[in-house]
Amino acid sequence: MKHLVSIADLSAADIWEILNVSLQLKEELRAGKPRPLLAGKTLGMIFQKPSLRTRVSFEVGMLQLGGHALYLSPNEIQLGQRESTPDAARVLSRYVDALMARTFAHSDIELLAEYSRVPVINGLSDLSHPCQALGDLLTIYEKKGKLEGLRLAWVGDGNNVAHSLLLSAGKLGMAMTVASPKGYECNPDIVAKAKAAAVESGAKLSFTHDPAEAVQRADVIYTDVWASMGKEAERGERLKVFQPYQVDTRLVSKAAREVIVMHCLPAHRGEEITDAVLDGSHSVVLDQAENRMHAQKGLLVLLLT
């Protein structure tokens, strides 16, 4: 493992290694015995879009490991505008030990990885959000004690987060059903990759337009905003199309009794998820947000040591 561009590049063993190291680091932190495994190392963080969790969890995670993180705002780098993305990658990687980037085009992450001489981590692109998936897998594992065989229902947009979860489910043998409106399904290339992985793992991946069908017997219900960053112009139209996909108490009651409800956050309360569900007893969204940091620390240690 050299970079983290997509979950598709990882084997099931790679994913488990990241999860196991993350769990160990989380335990050490809880016990008040964090190890400075990345002392003297610097992570450069390129952001073309806003962020709360990704920026703070990477920055604090690096600090806890004895290293340093550098926040590079959209105005500073102006990736691909002030200078070419390959030039930015070549220069930055002379200074820092790893790069994290949040971009619009997924191809920008791929370009950074191609031209950087240090590891590149995808901190969200239009196509995928692998760090989110790693934190989510850690959360599901902690709550349910296993991953293989669990039933995950995705309700809403077939977006970047859905893609990374679908690839994870395919690799790890989880059953995942995606319920999205017509015209808002997952990217066919991602679906093909996830299905190819599923042949080996035995994962069951299915797709529907019916949220009630997707959540039947689900162990995990997951939703995300209806208009992702960069899709703001479509917001009005999407609010109408996605209305039947709201995760409310009625929908949650159709799932397994012990179902956990997940959301990568930020949430638009009253749109894709109601207050009652987001703040209710099934919701694990805050543990999930916290686990972004633990999972990324595991990833950083594996990439840099």
Residues of span 164-193 touching ligand CP by CB under 6 A = none
124 binds ligand CP (CB under 6 A): yes
Q: Where do we find the tokens 């105005």?
A: 75
283 binds ligand CP (CB under 6 A): no
Residues 6+ apart with CB under 8 A from 179: 153, 154, 155, 156, 207, 208, 209, 210, 211, 213, 214, 215, 245
Known catalytic residue: 264? yes
* Nearer Cβ to ligand CP (50/270): 50
* Nearer Cβ to ligand CP (23/267): 267
Q: Give me the residue whose beta carbon is nearest to ligand CP.
A: 54
Distance CA 29, CA 259 (A): 28
Q: Which residue in 176, 264, 273, 295 binds ligand CP (CB under 6 A)?
A: 264
228 binds, among ligand CP, ligand NVA, none (CB under 5 to 8 A by kind): ligand NVA
- β-pair type (175-179, 120-122): unpaired
3-state secondary structure of 231: coil
Distance CA 87, CA 257 (A): 53
* Nearer Cβ to ligand NVA (171/292): 292
Whether 174 and 142 have beta carbons less than 8 Å apart is answered as no
Distance CA 124, CA 45 (A): 12
> Which one of the listed residues 108, 292, 294, 296 is annotated catalytic?
292
Q: Which of these segments, 18-26, 37-45, 52-60, 249-257, binds ligand CP (CB under 6 A)?
A: 52-60
Task: Find residue 47's DSSP bridge partners.
Answer: 102
Residues of span 36-65 touching ligand NVA by CB under 6 A = none
Known catalytic residue: 131? no
Known catalytic residue: 224? yes
Tell me the catalytic residues. Answer: 102, 129, 132, 224, 264, 292
Give contact residues for ligand CP (rule: CB under 6 A). 51-54, 124, 132, 264-266
